[in-house]
Structure 1
């Protein structure tokens, strides 16, 4: 049986070396039907013209991967960047991958299998921060598996379920999955607040939940746009994380310097806002 195509959507800015690594990992995926769309917002000379990126793009095309690239300016914030990428998606499922993520070769296939099995709105692979391997934080390793099908649920900023995000900090998930020893062939769904860096959506359901249409309500200097989109999808269609994950964070300095506005706290009902640096893991 032929597998449906998946559109992989990669936002990037000022990170040619990291982008080349991420694209190489995408080229090594064992899922055969991928179309990769890269939207670069590097001002001036595009990262898409840098030698390392050009080489990997040649490699991808030589191996038969479909690749589409855009130099998308002006920068109007990450929500608008993601809205632009979503507008380029035509496949039933789309995978948003940040430009600083390394993926194990079977990751996309496992994400798609879990998404189909549960019929939900999204499945995410939380990124491991391996520089934190020496830190064990058992108080942040709480995890609840979905025993049946993933169901819709409402998670709001500051709610009890919001605290689930601590599992995805540092190397917490990596330590936990090592102890649980869930084989990749038996990937399991678990409850999340959100998943950063690597998330596969049912494209139609992401659009039905509004996608990133809230971008005009945010200033260009914002963060949390991925969180807000996931919360809206989760409320209508359900969403989950995947264990084992198979995604690794390069832990580079952020290219989003202005982060005063956190989208879910700005645009959703919530309790008292967190202190500086507490809104995100």
Structure 2
């Protein structure tokens, strides 16, 4: 029986073989190696992980001792169910939800793991930079609130003053902030968030104790914000933070979640009904 990894990297994917190959290649280059990659594919027709470009990267990863598990999860029942399915596969103490269109610098996993182990919080996120906005400087959206001590539980709700923190993650705002402050990998800092999309490392048991994505059955198939709701529930119990520099870059492809009328944190309660363990 294979020994469990420290991190299970969870990649939900749909109709994006080229982007998926880029994401996997950046995982393969990580300085931290004790992780398993689990893909859950909901593509139309042939699975993205069966396409030539993805197979090439998977073979390279496996040849270098990187465990890769490729699964199909059909029929589609919404992104919350997709994330719940991935969580059900996790055996590692930490799980990283990573979108299938993200390019990572090579030390992102190493830095995120170090911080979550130091802080003992519920999650640590690396917000995605949109580098096509590099010349679009928005000082009105670049306010940042640093954690100067231990990351603590915090309740954030849609429409609250804290909710406005999400503007920091628009366009290339976070990259502009790190450049202005001269922050480097060696001087990584933690900051307060509303939520983070695309690259979030959870303490697995803390995510599960807050209910994980079990709320998927309470949502219609067409929804958005399921990742946000899970983060808000974990953050209320255990705390969560972002890191800067982030080291994560968005490939800026069109979203595959096109119907966004039902936003999970606006239609379901922030506080989970699951008892703490």
Gapped regions of structure 1 (runs ≥ 5): 270-281
Q: How many pairs were matched up?
A: 267
CA distance in 2, matches of 1:191, 1:52: 38
Which residue in the other structure is 2:107 paired with?
A: 106
Question: Secondary structure of the equivalent of 2:136?
Answer: coil
Q: CA deviation at 1:186?
A: 2.6
Aligned partner of 2:151 in structure 1 is 150
Q: How far apart are residue 258 of structure 1 and its match?
A: 1.5
1:268 offset after TM fit, Å?
Answer: 2.9
Instruction: Check if 1:91 corresponds to 2:92.
Output: yes
Instruction: Give the drift of 1:4.
Output: 6.2
Name 1:71's counterpart in structure 2.
Answer: 72
CA distance in 1, matches of 2:13, 2:181: 34
| 8 A Cα contact 1:43 1:73, kept in partner | no
Partners of 2:5 and 2:36 within 8 A in 1:
no
Q: Which runs of 5+ in 2 are unaligned?
A: 271-277
Which residue in 2 is equivalent to 1:9? 10
TM-score under structure 1 normalisation?
Answer: 0.93
Q: 1:119: how far off? A: 0.9
Q: Who is 1:246 aligned against?
A: 247
Stretch moving more, 187-196 or 43-52: 43-52
2:184, 2:132 → 1: CA distance?
A: 24
2:22 counterpart residue number = 21
Check the 8 A contact 2:96/2:199 in 1, yes or no: yes
Listed as ranges, the matches of 1:123-272 within 5 Å are 123-268=124-269
Give the alignment's Cα RMSD to 1 decimal: 1.1
Paired with 2:190 and 2:17, the residues of 1 have a C-alpha distance of 33
Aligned-partner SS, 1:113: helix
Q: Deviations over 1:84-140 (max 9, x none)?
A: 001111111110000000000000000001111111000000000000011111010
* Equivalent-residue separation in structure 2 for 1:192 and 1:135 (angstroms): 22
Distance 2:188 2:244 in 1: 5
* 1:32 is the counterpart of 2:23: no
Bigger mean CA offset, 260-269 vs 113-122: 260-269
Give the secondary structure class of the aligned counterpart of 1:254.
coil
Q: CA shift at 1:182, angstroms?
A: 1.8
Q: Is the 8 A contact 1:157 1:268 kept in 2?
A: no
Distance 1:219 1:79 in 2: 10
* Contact 1:146–1:191 (CA under 8 A) maintained in structure 2: yes
Return the alpha-carbon distance in structure 2 between the equivalents of residues 4 and 21 of structure 1. Answer: 22
